[in-house]
Amino acid sequence: MSRPGAAAAIGAAAGLCVLLMPGTAAAQMRADDTPGGGASSYRPADGSVAVTGTASSADGPRLERAKIYSDTIGPGQKKYYRVRLDDTSSAFVSTVLAPPPGTKSGILDGLQVSLTSTGGTPCSSGPAVYFGGDTTRPIADYASRRIEDSSSPCQEAGDYLYTVSWAGPQTSGTAKWPIELTYMAEPGLKAGTDVPQAPTSWSSKAPAPSDGTPQKVRGGTGFNEAAAVGDGAWRDDIRPGESRFYKVPVAWGQQLFLRAQLANTTSDSSFFTVNGLRLALYNTARGRVSDKSTGYTGAPAGVDLGTAPAAYGNRFGGAAEAESAMRFEGWYYVQVTLDPKVPSSVPVTLNVGIQGTAQPGPSYDGDAEAAGFGLGDAGAGGGADLTMRAIGFAGIGAGSVLVLGLGAWQLLSRRRRPAGGDAGADAVYSR
């Protein structure tokens, strides 16, 4: 094999090793060892595109499908962007607002997003999302255009305006905080297909937490590097002011139940935080499903969260926000946040329960999985089978990868040896 060919093959083998260990790689690449042991900041997506939203709707930069963009926003600002919608897909344009951990905020500070036609017709409307206290954490929401019938607004193909507004008083300071934007397009249904109905009977009672020993996991700093978890108990450590992110595979017809539990602190300090522990859930398109919190005094504390079954029909009718947001099959994102006033890091256990058998999905007129909505072959299973297929590779450790790499190197060395034997091979390596 020629030297360039060998180098290419070695590179491919190394790339394969990395691909086979997504969970391990994500954990190693986390910005977890911050100077002084402080809380980790939200990590932007690799390869994200920098843009600058404008104050004028005439000049907003265009956001393309399936790309992730970065910008900033400050108190009192409203920024415009443009998206081009077709007349067959439902569109979801999201924004994450991610100030540095522990940054002070007003109780009414937050984020407001909207999607309108260029003539000002609203495509969807929803309430602002707020930090919910006097300190910040990453928060996110989306605006959407749902494909329905010709009598509904925003059904035509063309340019639309997406706006991101600061929700709160302009007196909150002058800092510019990072935002992250994405545009996802969900295929419509095949012509003549009946629209799936939302489930009418289901229980929100959470199952008992797992009795097994929690598995160790390192949560990510945000959506881009969330750690994959499934049924069972998961153990992590969280720093004051920090948010840890995890992702859970949820198939059509399944419910997700979560319990986050803080252990006691070892600090002698006396304190009380109203929202000491926060547990938030976001759907596949980064839309908020639910957000709960509990006080913390340094004694063990926990908070529970349960969802409706994931169903296409949840998006219709007058369903509550938490039920309507369970409208996709795919990865759902769990955010656990510790208040910055807690004096030290605290162990946290996340119990995950995925209930229900995976159901057949709607008849999409396009590749929903390629568009970011779906679980691939894993979606055909249910319960533990779904979880193991979705996160199985995350268990491959560095030792396994080293064995794979050595095997690839050995294979290459054999192909490079001339007929003269080992002396010839040594001569090749010494060049």
Concatenated DSSP letters of 380-419: GS-HHHHHHHHHGGGG--HHHHHHHHHHHHHHHHHHH--T
Same domain, 38 and 101: no
Predicted confidence band of residue 388 (pLDDT cuts 50, 70, 90):
low
Q: How is residue 135 annotated by DSSP?
A: B
Domain that holds residue 404: 3-15+398-429
Same domain, 171 and 102: yes
pLDDT of residue 378: 53
Predicted confidence band of residue 213 (pLDDT cuts 50, 70, 90):
very high
Instruction: Indicate if the pLDDT at residue 356 is higher than 80.
Output: yes
Same domain, 390 and 402: no
| Distance in angstroms (rounded) separating the CA atoms of residues 78 and 62 | 16
CA distances from 326 to 199, 252, 308, 315, 320 (A): 11, 9, 7, 8, 10
For residues 384 and 297, the model is more confident at 297
Same domain, 69 and 32: no
Instruction: Indicate if the pLDDT at residue 425 is higher than 60.
Output: no
Same domain, 378 and 413: no
pLDDT of residue 404: 43
Q: Where does a domain end: 163, 187, 211?
A: 187
In a domain, 32, yes or no: yes
CA-wise closest residue to 139 among 90, 103, 183, 185: 103
Predicted confidence band of residue 208 (pLDDT cuts 50, 70, 90):
confident
pLDDT of residue 152: 87
Same domain, 120 and 257: no
In a domain, 198, yes or no: no
Lowest-confidence region among 9-13, 57-61, 163-167, 232-236: 9-13
CA-wise closest residue to 94 among 146, 163, 37: 163
Predicted confidence band of residue 207 (pLDDT cuts 50, 70, 90):
confident
Predicted confidence band of residue 201 (pLDDT cuts 50, 70, 90):
confident
Same domain, 294 and 324: yes
Q: Where does a domain end: 131, 162, 187?
A: 187
Same domain, 114 and 68: yes
115 CB-near residues (< 8 Å, 6+ apart): 83, 91, 93, 122, 123, 124, 143, 144, 145, 154, 160, 161, 162, 163
Same domain, 257 and 125: no
In a domain, 193, yes or no: no
Q: What is the pLDDT of residues 221-245, one digit of tens each?
A: 999 999 999 999 999 999 999 999 9
Q: Where does a domain end: 152, 187, 222?
A: 187
In a domain, 104, yes or no: yes
In a domain, 194, yes or no: no
Same domain, 133 and 227: no
Lowest-confidence region among 225-229, 303-307, 364-368, 394-398: 394-398
In a domain, 124, yes or no: yes
In a domain, 89, yes or no: yes
**What's the number of domains the chain is made of?**
3
Instruction: Indicate if the pLDDT at residue 42 is higher than 80.
Output: yes
pLDDT of residue 170: 66
Which amino acid does the sequence have at 175? A
In a domain, 332, yes or no: yes
Same domain, 214 and 356: yes
Number of Cβ atoms within 10 Å of the Cβ of 70: 16
Same domain, 38 and 129: no
Mean pLDDT of the chain: 82
CATH number, position 77: 2.60.120.380
